[in-house]
Structure 1
């Protein structure tokens, strides 16, 4: 207890030095908490933008479809599977899709793409396709021949809203499947090549033409809590283990995107490591100067019979007390900043090349929110505590090498 009193008195004996140290540690704590919240928030937004644009958090497919999408690997009992899924908790919404490679032809241009049958009302709960609307409207269950197509594809085919064009494909019995459809809406998702390939139509319209009643290419599931998507995928996999179905999470569906996110996270970690090292050396140098200016004080303590361990205890307690004070202020301000920018995202300006790289993964905008979490707070607290603990070791060791007589003489 005596050492604590001495350490507390020593801190405020030189207020200027102590306030500078507190300010430095507090600013570092604020930055570390905010940086972790920003890093986490940016990655969460990136994942949401890409996954919710079209692929979905979980897909149920017939075995073999993921490696070789074709009519040979279709789900053939959709209604019974939906009934099984109704008994599973944690599912917010579900829908089915049927995909058919097709040739689209307008009056003077033909172009290949993918005709996709969807359940419009269910799809609006699963994906952000409806929010990607740039002209016209999203299709409804009442639209028999109305389509919702990529803006780039419409431009390629010289089509405008209300124009008709023909699609040609093959039904599951390999017979010709063709009809005339009308452009009801245009979307721009920036997700890979979807804007120049995808045409969405009511699945009920495709059922008769492609002979796919109660069939689908795959089902898409949205969890009630998106953070539990991997757990739900595992639960569904066990529930459907006796069937010929595969349950794939977004991490399996979007392996290239996962690698991109991991690379981005690695770069972020490298950046924070560099920052932490800089902060460490700044604090260590400042501690070294502060402690070395107290050479006579330490020399007098040793001359009076104070042991090295007692000196280490006093100096260590001073560092610990200032660390705790800086953590209190740092956590308060850092948490407020994280909460503020969670509701008021940061609008980031990027170069055209960088924008193009992110656009191909489906990021619609660059208003990046932070993500307030206990993990971000713990990250800042733990790092600043470790930095302060390590940064004081060398200064203490160095000053203990000075002999009491030399210290008292100022040598």
Structure 2
């Protein structure tokens, strides 16, 4: 695979490394990472919703000039972001994979492969050829004699690679007490509080299973009023069970030897409010309310979910990718990665029309963009790039001229009246 070849070509085993110095004094070696909470269906559903929503993003390399005008350059990054960041994944797969790794490990590493060329001034230029999510079993942070930070990845195949940390895109969740890694002090997910809830939930579910089995197993006692040996008792029990199976009327005939005593089992199940409370504790942990999980949400509920849970991830993706993919000089001249949440299909028809009306009156949307909000394709004649605004919905380039002409006419009419 292209990633493996690139890693083998770049890793530098000849250098002398020591563990990076951390303020905490701990050795910066971290294993990847527990998965004990992911047996819960509620946990998996919550993460799946987040990963699915993030996979709808469209990352873009944009450039903002000194006047604040943004353009989308024809770059290798935009080519990769459009359909396939690497030969194994589409853009949607790539983003979904990153989120699952982030929530599984509280850390996600992405390595960008590239080739080097030089411009007319002799400056090195990176031509990116792929973006690969990494899933190491262990990571170590090292430094060389110049105190440059490196990261060594160990994989389940037995291979290990040492790369400059500045060349690796690193996303973190709950970045708190550890100096480099997301999660707890040991650089792993700190799920102790959540595990308590999941253990209670598991105990409740096991109790429900046992209660249901018990209520459907023993239904009564057949008292045989004569002395029988084991073989005769077994034959009598089988005769009684045969009567039960064949008793379509619900009435079982028994002779004077038998006496059937029913057992009325009344297992106490957990009420639905308690079950809903346990599930809601997990949903709040991940910031995914029940209407989002079921898909029965309003525009306002989705907006709240986006701002609370999705937007921090969107911001983190843009900043982490920009920090690694561009040099400080490229960032200074306006290059950055922005993840656009352009798909507005979650909005109701009324909200879509309100959006078109409000943004359209300001001349912010082209005709094709308005059609896209409603789920329609662009205009076939290629005129969909036209923007209109509320001044009789004329071309925005003619609006100022039109207003100026009306003003001159009005002033001229006033003079004539005088």
TM-score, length-scaled by structure 1 = 0.23
TM-score, length-scaled by structure 2 = 0.23
The higher-RCO structure (CA 8 Å, 6+ apart) is 1
- In terms of fraction of residues, the more helix-rich structure is 1
